[in-house]
Structure 1
Amino acid sequence: MNWIIWLIIACEIGFWVFILLGLVTRYIFKKESLGLFLLAMTPVVDFILLAATSYDLYQGATATTAHALAAIYIGVSIGFGKSMIKWADERFSYYVTKTGPKPVKLYGIDYAKTYFKSWLRHLLSYVIGATIIGIIYVLINDYERTEAMVQILGLWSLVLVIDLVLSITYFIFPRKKESRL
């Protein structure tokens, strides 16, 4: 297996390890500053992945699906990182330490608006990831060496459109509260 794939896996694990360590440090050990520092380390993981991917391509590697996934990972991490940390923070404080309010489950127009905001984050992630792929494409200047990345970008474009359609449907057919019998 390509070492870039292993690095992506390690970075994803590292991302969640920093979040978990940050939350445990913040809520269990009551070290707010250290907890925030650990949470702030998540972008460092992205930088490591970006640097390693760039180095690999600079050394003459043919861009693979793994390289495209690295660009997607970086885009998603930047686009959704803050909201993922907030999501984990809310659940950790409620379910683990019992110190925070219960996370609110949204319905109707509130859910539709929240889902649309999530789609906007997806769009931001896409723009960042597509820009990285575009820069790599321009720098390598060889379609055969970047074909896999361009194909993944096409697939991601389709996923983005499907996500937009889903987002719109929540305004037309709002999510309803489950009825309990």
Structure 2
Amino acid sequence: MIVTLIVICEIGFWVLLAAGLATRYLLRMPRLGVAILLCEPLLEVLLLVVTAVDLKNGADPSWKHGLAAVYIGYTVGHGHRTVRWLDGHAAHRLRGTPLPRPPRYGRPRARYEAKVWLGTVVAAAVASALLLIAMWYVDDPDGTASLRGWMYTAWRAAGIHGLIALSYTLFPKKAPPGTSDGPARDREKHLTGR
């Protein structure tokens, strides 16, 4: 049941996102579009409540409960960035605004990658907190080994992502001569076509 609900929450995320962006840009009702987009966290709350009820009703903690915690953590850490990215692309496609792009070179790119990595750290922290609460709630050290494993997986992913983000600082890609990397330059290129 938990895995089915995770799939439903993922589908619901994309349906609400499409509905919110369509309402905002196609129907030209930005406030209603934002209201629809703000309903997305309710899906994670539903998943959290169902997972807690499942454990309360005596279900053995398993990989499904760990997956639910990691999914919620990922949504907390990266959901807003995903929505903002897709909103920028919808605005570009439907309103002709400049295409949102991350910096490509040097320190600006390293700062951008560090911010994305911080989202992964937040995701791992939220997942770990939920898993620790579940382990405390179940109070069976032997029965919660799979939950502990998911916690290690979340932090391992954050560590790997941290190394990748660090590589942008240690080995920055240099901009080609005569180019400037930044939002102002991208806006200028979009407006002038050069």
1:19-69 superposed Cα distances (whole Å, 9 cap, x missing partner): 111000000001112101110001100100000000101111111111111
Within a 5 Å distance, the mapping from 1:95-114 to structure 2 comes to: 95=93, 97-107=94-104, 108-114=106-112
Tell me: CA distance 1:154–1:105, structure 2 relative to 1, closer, same or farther (3 Å): closer
* CA distance in structure 1 between the partners assigned to 2:17 and 2:71 by the alignment: 16
Question: How many angstroms does 1:99 deviate by?
Answer: 2.9
Structure 1: gaps of 5 or more residues: none
Q: Give the TM-score, by structure 2 length.
A: 0.85
Match of 1:20 in 2: 18
Contact 2:102 2:112 in 1 (8 A): no
8 Å CA contact 2:120, 2:158 repeated in 1 = yes
Structure 1 residue 178, shift from structure 2 partner: 8.4
Q: Post-superposition shift, 1:177?
A: 5.7
Pick closer, same or farther for the CA change 1:43–1:134 going to 2, 3 Å. Answer: same
Instruction: Classify the secondary structure of the residue corresponding to 2:142.
Output: helix
C-alpha distance after superposition, 1:120-177 (max 9, x if no partner): 1111111111000000001101123221111111122211111111111110112456
> Which SS does the other structure have where 1:145 is aligned?
coil
Separation in structure 2 between the aligned mates of residue 84 and residue 9 of structure 1, nearest angstrom: 18
1:29 to 20, 27, 30: 27
Q: What amino acid maps onto 1:89 in structure 2?
A: D
Secondary structure (helix, strand or coil) at the match of 1:80 reads helix
TM-score (norm 1): 0.91
Q: CA RMSD in A?
A: 1.6
The letter of the residue matching 1:104 is R
Q: Distance in 2 between matches of 1:177 and 1:146?
A: 50
Judge which range, 147-156 or 129-138, deviates more. 147-156
Look up the SS of the partner of 2:101 in the other structure: coil
Cα distance in 1 for partners of 2:55, 2:154 equals 21
Q: Residue in 2 aligned with 1:78? A: 76
Give the equivalent residue in structure 2 for 1:55. 53
Structure 2 distance, partners of 1:152, 1:67, is 9
Which residue in 2 is equivalent to 1:66?
64
2:7 is the counterpart of 1:4:
no
Give unpaired runs (5+ residues) of structure 2. Answer: 178-194
Distance 1:70 1:87 in 2: 24
AA aligned opposite 1:106: P
Give 1:135's aligned residue: 133
Please tell me the residue identity of whatever aligns with 1:102: L
